[in-house]
Structure 1
Amino acid sequence: MSLLPVDDARSRILNRVNPLPPERVQIEDAIGRATVEPVRVRRTLPPWDNSAMDGYAVRTADVSSTPLKVVEKIFAGDVPRRALNMGEVARIMTGARLPPGADAVIMQEQARALDDTHVEFQASAKAGQNVRRRGEDVREGDVLFAAGRELSAADAGALWSQGLVDVAVHRRPRVAIVTSGDELSEVGVIHPDKLVDSNGPVIRALARAAGADAVHLGRADDSLESLHALLAKGLEFDVLIAIAGASVGERDFTREAFTALDVPLDFWRVAMRPGKPLAFGKKNDTLVFNLPGNPVSAMVTFELFVRPVLRALQGLSTVLPALPARASADVKSVPGLRLFVRAATEVRDGAIWATPLQSQSSGALSSAAGATALIDVPTDSLGVKAGDPITLIPVSWLGR
């Protein structure tokens, strides 16, 4: 089988994805998730004209050098007791409702109190000055948020201000992760002849950060029976991620296990580095991935292929962020492969500059920890020279 271009692989995967059914959740639990349906305004905001300043509510026609009578003091939350008549003003605080008849607010710094009931002003006033008009934020019946809106904390505030306590969003995808390899030990166990199985918890953490409910089902040993049993459990989830065993070594049983489980694989190699031995398929409603076993390859392929799927299942955008930048050093190309080079970034003279990390080994986790972005080197590139314009893909694993 020939190597599949990265964009073709992404398209083939995403074409198999349908958003998950809706559920109603508390608003604070909906942050980062997508609305299933339009959310309409139930209450006009502000519900009345109110003051944007501490000062005096006035009738602009009355403002002159002549002292005016203060007939009321209005705080936020108060209901004005009466309308203003000719020659009258009201002392008013920020957020308080304007009394009937008032059409402007003069800030207190431009007023001089003559006694407890009279004030004069050192500036004129225009209608609407320092007034927040009724409905200038939202009006009843308007669409507050369209379907597919990725809700932020600010959006949550807007929902709460409407008196809402819950909202319909797509449910979180359930993700099962299976690792394998006799050369691995459990997290927390250091064995002189083994490597710690960091892939399972790392991919679980990335899946959770992408909004999924993810579990690590366990680590299979290098036998078909052990791997078959764990993968069978994983097929009960929305997404199954098997890590390692995608190559053609004597103890690489993942493809054989998928065949025994009747999982049809759409492809199993992609024209990229790191991450070439990547497989994808679907059985019934379960999306199945086989990520490379090298830790950085697993993280990069998760970033480029699995994370967009988890977002699509939640009704979120799957567009990869891309930033224009410049290379601080040369980057060699590899014929026929699209490279994703780990790099550290900084801003100099108003531009983003990316420096490739010294180690690009797919097994060097420290290089993933030090990376803030991936330099995207196209398949047909002849290489990148220092100072050349490049495209950067920020990595989500930074956690900020």
Structure 2
Amino acid sequence: MTPSWLTDSNSPGSELTSPTIGDTLPETPAELYSPEAHFANKGFVSGIRRAWINLSHLRRPLPLLPARDQVDRIVVVHPGPMRDLVFAEPAIRALRLRFPNVDRVLYAPEEAASLYAGSGWGEVRPLEKLGEERQKSEQTCMIVDLTFRAEYEIAKQIQRTRFSHRVGVNLGGRGAFYNIPAQPPLFTDHMADFYLQLVELIGVASLGRVPSLPHGLDRMERGRRFWHEKEIQQPVVLIPGWDGQSIGWPADVFINMGRNLSEHELVVISLPSEKTQVEPVVDALNCQWIKMSSTQTLMDAIATSALVIGNDGGTLHLAAAMNRPTLMLTVNPHPWRSWPLVTANSAVFRGQDVDSARVRFDRIPVSDLAAAALRLIDLKSEKII
């Protein structure tokens, strides 16, 4: 039986559900209208509210996919960040399996090449070259738009190219595809639901809907060499995200978690683009702080780590998709933006299995979280996701 603190109906986010394609979205959260929220988001809330209202009336079901012999080329467009690319992996995989003998191109940010290396997908090209598809209009081409947000310039590029088949969430407006530009969990949950709906539409749902990124022998070897050069063996990786002292990951809780795992080698890592402020944490735990130079280096390091803990959604979902023991924690004062606690879909809390339970981090003793983290290390030889 799941503990009550994991199923409390009054806990933030418990009332949120991911609608299926074609459903009407729930009422706009009241917090979107508050002056405080508007000020905190610098006017971005009004854009969210407009998108929410549009979705309530314009949501459409996905069109049927063409037959295999009707498509010579597949173009997938995905301008989202790393976390979104991880969530899209089942859809990318399903398209590859459904259309195995066609040219396949993915237009995405540069880290997509590292994420999907070894997946057998095909060519990964930068978004800036999407306009070149207009020169290939003689082919019977299907475009799969995984934008799932208002990307006006990309929408214009898609509109100008005469694709034979288009798959996406079409909300009108000159052919552009739009959806909620909101923060997790609303944005993330709905986006993940959309990708899973697309997998089912493609018709290969039985092959798995959980993101699974290949790491292969080359990546494992690079990862082992990376840690060997730093004289570290299978570390517990701590990822502070944007701000190690923010309310999303309080520094004192970070330090307490690290002290509960002191028997393992601790390493704090971050990407150059992150605005981390973790010096007090690093000093208190007396551990190394490594700034990763690229997404590929980050993936190599994660692939050979014992456990990954943090609150950075992109990196944590990346670790879980690579089948690493993963624990994502956060505190958020806004109920409608309360994040889930993710444990690679199979962790142990007080002897109970938990599947992406929605909890408030401040309700759980750090000692319990540390015990769950140690349990994840014990399970690292098993398939966790």
TM-score by length of 2: 0.29
Tell me which of the two structures has the higher relative contact order, counting C-alpha pairs closer than 8 angstroms and 6 or more residues apart.
Answer: 2
Query: Which structure features the higher share of helix residues?
Result: 2
Q: Which has the larger radius of gyration?
A: 1
Query: Which structure features the higher share of strand residues?
Result: 1
